């Protein structure tokens, strides 16, 4: 069932944030990075049956324009954006579900602005700095960025997936690279690589703060993500926080691919 969607923008110090609201009830925020609001639409429609659901394009991506595209998109900046959105909507504190880079944004929100979120579900955050091979991963990530910025989009995708330990058919990867010939997709991919990827994967959470924050912090992990980089980082974070991972059906993007069972698992946690 589709719900009426209200789209608007919020001006912050250095960006104009696009956000969407649907449904009614307790506030839930769904956030990605670099994934924009479109990735969460099927999930948001399901949750809107009994929640007010806020989705947003992260700064610098699609409809959320930044004043300075040469400034890094750090987890702290994106967390402050989320805080401002929750305060603007005025029905918080929220339950915040973040996936991948959005999970890092959500963790930064719990760390720096706990009053904005009563619960954070961090689904597969790519926190490379929690792993023993962090330096090797940093070098490989820098190489991904350099490859993309040199114009080799397909090569960058192949390197990205190799580091993530995600295996896709060659034709799928080629299609993903070809899709970035679209001007907006190309601009978003440039921003992701140039300004978002390293600040996100190299972010070091304050584990002491996250253990003691008033925000309930859960670490989500896909049942089909075994062996992937985000499986390793999620388990490392859960162990560091002294919690068990919260298992979700599917893999890294199951919330978009098969949202119904995913939402069934998520709803009791909100």
% of the chain with per-residue pLDDT over 90: 96
Q: What is the mean pLDDT of residues 26-37?
A: 98
Span between the terminal Cα atoms of the chain, in Å: 20
Residue count of the chain, please give it. 270
DSSP annotation of 192 reads: I
Kindly report which listed range (136-145, 171-180, 192-201, 227-236) carries the lowest average pLDDT score: 171-180
Judge if the upstream peptide bond of residue 259 is cis by omega within 30 degrees of 0: no
Runs of H (alpha helix) within 129-247:
134-149, 153-164, 170-179, 183-191, 197-201, 207-212, 229-241
Determine the pLDDT at residue 220: 98
Determine the pLDDT at residue 1: 60
Q: Which residue has the higher pLDDT, 46 or 179?
A: 46
- Which residues, 6 or more positions from 116, have their beta carbon under 8 angstroms from its beta carbon? 82, 83, 86, 87, 92, 93, 94, 96, 109
% of the chain with per-residue pLDDT over 70: 100
Model confidence at 14: pLDDT above 70 = yes
Sequence-ordered strand ranges (E) for 50-105? 52-56, 65-66, 94-99
* Model-wide pTM > 0.95: yes
Say which residue the tokens 């926080």 belong to.
Answer: 241
Model confidence at 2: pLDDT above 80 = no
| Sign of the torsion formed by the C-alpha atoms of 69, 102, 237 and 223 | negative
Distance, in Å, from the CA atom of 270 to the CA atom of 259, rounded to the nearest integer, reads: 16
Render pLDDT for 77-92 as a digit per residue (tens, 0 to 9): 999 999 999 999 998 8
Render pLDDT for 169-191 as a digit per residue (tens, 0 to 9): 999 999 989 988 899 999 999 99
Q: Is 2 helix (H, G, I), strand (E, B) or coil?
A: coil
Model confidence at 252: pLDDT above 80 = yes
Tell me whether residue 182 is exposed, middle or buried, using C-beta atoms within 10 angstroms of its C-beta: 0 to 12, 13 to 18, 19 or more: exposed
Angle at 234 between CA 35 and CA 138, to 5 degrees: 75
Render pLDDT for 94-149 as a digit per residue (tens, 0 to 9): 999 999 999 999 999 999 999 999 999 999 999 999 999 999 999 999 999 999 99
Q: What domains are there in the chain, each with its CATH number?
A: 5-128+203-269 (3.40.50.1820), 134-198 (no CATH)
Average confidence score pLDDT of the chain: 97
């Amino acid at each position: 069932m589709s719900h009426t969607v209200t789209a608007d923008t919020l001006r912050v110090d250095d960006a104009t944030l696009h956000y969407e609201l649907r449904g009614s009830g307790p506030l839930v925020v769904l956030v990605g990075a670099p994934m924009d609001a479109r990735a969460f639409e099927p999930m948001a429609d399901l949750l809107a049956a009994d929640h007010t659901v806020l989705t947003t394009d992260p700064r610098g991506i699609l409809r959320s324009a930044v004043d300075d595209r040469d400034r890094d998109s750090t987890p702290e900046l994106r967390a402050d954006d989320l805080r401002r959105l929750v305060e603007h909507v005025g029905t918080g504190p929220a339950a915040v579900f973040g996936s991948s880079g959005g999970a890092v944004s959500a963790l930064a929100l719990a760390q720096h602005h706990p009053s904005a979120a009563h619960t954070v579900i961090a689904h597969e955050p790519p926190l490379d700095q929690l792993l023993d091979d962090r330096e090797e991963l940093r070098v490989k990530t820098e190489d991904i960025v350099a490859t993309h910025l040199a114009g080799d989009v397909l090569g960058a995708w192949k390197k990205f997936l190799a580091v993530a330990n995600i295996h896709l058919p060659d034709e799928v990867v080629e299609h993903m690279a070809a899709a970035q010939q679209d001007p907006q997709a190309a601009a978003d991919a440039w921003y992701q690589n140039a300004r978002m990827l390293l600040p996100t994967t190299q972010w070091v959470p304050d584990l002491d703060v996250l253990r003691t924050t008033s925000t309930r912090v859960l670490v989500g992990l896909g049942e089909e993500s075994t062996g992937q980089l985000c499986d390793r980082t999620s388990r490392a974070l859960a162990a560091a926080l002294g919690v068990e991972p919260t298992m979700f059906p599917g893999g890294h993007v199951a919330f978009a691919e098969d949202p119904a069972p995913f939402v069934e698992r998520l709803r009791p946690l909100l």
